[in-house]
Amino acid sequence: MSRKKKNDDLILKVPKNASRRQIYAIYRKQFTAADLQKYTVNEPMVPAERVLVELEALDRKEAAKRKKK
């Protein structure tokens, strides 16, 4: 059961007819901190208040369109 990486995709070698539980156990054993790091990258965020203001403005605009019809 070795692990190879190709283009950052994990390739697991598992025994033939392995159950899902066995496959998950093998994956958990081979999952490293470096693998986890890919999913914990901080990205720029937008404040929730700004998103809410933009959604409310869109809602008012669409409501005005519906009233005109």
- Render pLDDT for 25-56 as a digit per residue (tens, 0 to 9): 998 888 888 888 888 888 888 999 999 999 99
Residue 17: per-residue pLDDT: 92
What's the rounded mean pLDDT across residues 5-10?
A: 58
Model pLDDT, residue 41: 81
CA distance 3 to 5: 7
- For residue 13, CA distances in Å to 6, 37, 53, 56 come to 14, 23, 50, 51
User: How large is the average pLDDT for residues 8-25?
Assistant: 85
pLDDT for 2 equals: 52
